[in-house]
Amino acid sequence: MTTGTLSSSPILTGSLSPEGLEAALRDIGARRYHILHPFHRLLHAGKLNRGQVQAWALNRYYYQSQIPIKDAVMISRLPTADLRREWRRRLIDHDGGSEGTGGLERWLKLTAGVGLDRDYVESTAGILPATRFAVDAYVHWVRDRSVLEAVASSLTELFSPKIIAERVSGMLASYDWITAETLAYFTPRLTQAPDDSAFALAYVKEHAVTFEQQKAVLDSLIFKCDVLWSQLDALHLAYVDPRLPPPGAFVPEDAAGD
Amino acid sequence: MTTGTLSSSPILTGSLSPEGLEAALRDIGARRYHILHPFHRLLHAGKLNRGQVQAWALNRYYYQSQIPIKDAVMISRLPTADLRREWRRRLIDHDGGSEGTGGLERWLKLTAGVGLDRDYVESTAGILPATRFAVDAYVHWVRDRSVLEAVASSLTELFSPKIIAERVSGMLASYDWITAETLAYFTPRLTQAPDDSAFALAYVKEHAVTFEQQKAVLDSLIFKCDVLWSQLDALHLAYVDPRLPPPGAFVPEDAAGD
């Protein structure tokens, strides 16, 4: 029922070396990672108003909230204690070591910092349906596809330090109502993401040997880029251009004021 | 992992009568059915160019292709032969009684009639990721939710005769390159959809008795409206305004010519 991403992975004529596979993965990132999306460029260039930044933070919360779910599904599919321990690091990063810590909690500090009510954010009542569909598709991918494809779908983290650096420096420079404390979510991600992606990259380079396996890995990264890209598409349509929020979605208080 | 649609169903203070439930369902349709979407209005008013109509037909093919999958999942969950036979009608409507018949085949006549290659359409290689995520969310809903919620999610058919009538008459009047034969998909749907929705409506009116069941039914219809609406959102962003097709998606040949 999930037919997956058939679209335009690089045409392979035979299996690649591990280095060739890494190069093909990095090429997908260079063409499809959401750092290229106009919404990201507007966000880090300070071209969004407060309501638009709120919409971004609100919708992105749903993504953040499902990451530990996705990671738990992943752990449940890994066959050895070694692999499960490695992946458990991510679960701890997101859910924290104790109450009030961890990435999800830090994201709630970000949504509070941009002026959103915590209960409203946690209810996910105002998110765009397209956000929910895309994020759920990611969790389902990790549940329903091969372990190799599930691991490969995490490889967008190869590209995240750059987008985080752009986002944090750009947002701090551009929005006087955003503080470094509000953006504290991102600081640990600058070291966590490279650890995570180094493991996942080594895993796929070791386990994707045949043409079919390598194609599956490349398609999984394309799929994940689509998951991230379509979330910015939905934000762009609803809140930037042509500003067409679907029925029931969050409407910023200052929507009429700019 | 699917947390569902928590957004803005009518506030219920107690359980409704069957007639009250029907009225609440029809009210959701009046506010959220995709007949209200700007893309539909442009389509039936003849305001789209051929490439934009192609993009609609191409993406909608993926929805059509998953309807019999969704119906087979539904049948697999129904407990009695009576119910399964009733739902089997839909499967036959979509997959046909023999090769070259049925709704899916008629949709391929529509995509051919607007100038798309059959193999390309069937590959689904050019569809928008948001189309895939929304449609897959519908199939997963029918698989993962209660039978009552699964049945309720089909209730958008209550509203489809009106949108089909608008679409067919508007498209025939507005586009001289579209023929009645190309739009033959829709003719049987004008009688099939009311049969289907009459059954589903009677089913939910009988089985949704408690407050919780009725809220679940109303939320299922909101969810399904979101599935349809978000498909038009994605088409609108990619091909109408601001014309931001995601990487890898279909690009009409005449995209630059209008």
Q: Which of A2, A75, A76, A132 to mutate to test the interface with B (most CBs of B within 10 A)?
A: A132
Q: Is residue A207 a contact partner of residue A15, using CB atoms and an 8 Å limit?
A: no
Task: Spell out which residues of chain A touch residue B225, defining contact as CB-CB under 8 Å.
Answer: 247
Asked if B133 has any chain A CB less than 8 Å from its own CB, the reply is: yes
- Quick check: B148 pLDDT over 50? yes
Q: B40 at the A interface (CB within 8 A)?
A: no
Taking residues A27-44, report their average pLDDT.
97
B238: chain A residues, CB-CB within 8 Å: 233
Domain boundaries B24-240, corresponding CATH code: 1.20.910.10
Question: In the predicted model, is pLDDT for residue A43 greater than 50?
Answer: yes
A257, pLDDT greater than 80: no
What gap in Å lies between CA B59 and CA B54, rounded to an integer? 8
Range B56-85 average pLDDT: 97
pLDDT higher at A135 or A5: A135
B/e letters for A17-28, b = 16+ CB within 10 Å, e = fewer, are eeeebbebbbeb
- Range from A10-19, B132-141, B177-186 carrying the lowest mean pLDDT: A10-19
Output B5 or A238, whichever has higher pLDDT: A238
What predicted TM-score, i.e. pTM, was given to this entire model?
0.92
Alpha helix stretches (DSSP H) within chain B: 18-32, 38-44, 50-77, 81-95, 103-113, 118-123, 129-144, 147-152, 160-174, 186-207, 211-235
Residue B10 pLDDT grade (very low, low, confident, very high; cuts 50, 70, 90): low
Residue A247 pLDDT exceeds 90: yes
Interface test with B, best of A74, A121, A237 (most B CBs within 10 A): A237
B chain contacts of residue A227, beta-carbon cutoff 8 Å: 129, 133
Any CB–CB contact under 8 A between A129 and chain B? yes
Q: Are B247 and A229 in contact (CB under 8 A)?
A: yes
Give pLDDT, residue A256.
45
User: Does A3 score more than 70 pLDDT?
Assistant: no
Q: What is the DSSP string of B221-252?
A: HHHHHHHHHHHHHHHIIIIISS--PPTT----
Whole-number Cα distances in Å, B96 to B64, B89, B120: 13, 10, 22
Return the pLDDT at A253.
87
Fold of A18-240: Heme Oxygenase; Chain A (1.20.910)
- Compute the distance between CA of residue A208 and CA of residue B239 in angstroms, rounded to an integer: 37
Size of interface A-B (CB pairs under 8 A): 140
Whether the predicted pLDDT of B211 surpasses 70? yes
Min Cα separation A170/chain B (Å):
23
Cβ of residue A67 closer than 8 Å to a chain B Cβ: no
pLDDT over 50 at A8, yes or no: no
Query: Per-residue pLDDT for B82 more than 50?
Result: yes
Is A1's CB within 8 Å of B139's CB?
yes
CA-wise closest residue to B160 among B184, B190, B139: B190
Q: Does A242 touch chain B (CB under 8 A)?
A: yes
User: What is the ipTM for the molecules in this complex?
Assistant: 0.89
Average of pLDDT values for B226-245?
A: 98
Q: What mean pLDDT value characterizes chain A?
A: 93
For residue B245, say if its preceding peptide bond is cis, omega within 30 degrees of 0. Answer: no
B225 and A242: CB-CB below 8 Å?
no
A69, A257, B150 from B5: Cα distances, Å: 18, 29, 13
Average the pLDDT over B195-207 and give the result: 97
Tens-place pLDDT, residues A77-97: 999 999 999 999 999 999 999
**Residue in A69, A227, A246 closest to B229 by CB:** A246
Question: In this structure, are residues A139 and A66 in contact, taking their beta carbons and an 8 Å threshold?
Answer: yes
Question: pLDDT band at residue B6, thresholds of 50, 70 and 90?
Answer: very low
Pull the structure tokens for residue B207.
Answer: 């089985």
What distance lies between CA A99 and its chain's CA centroid? 24
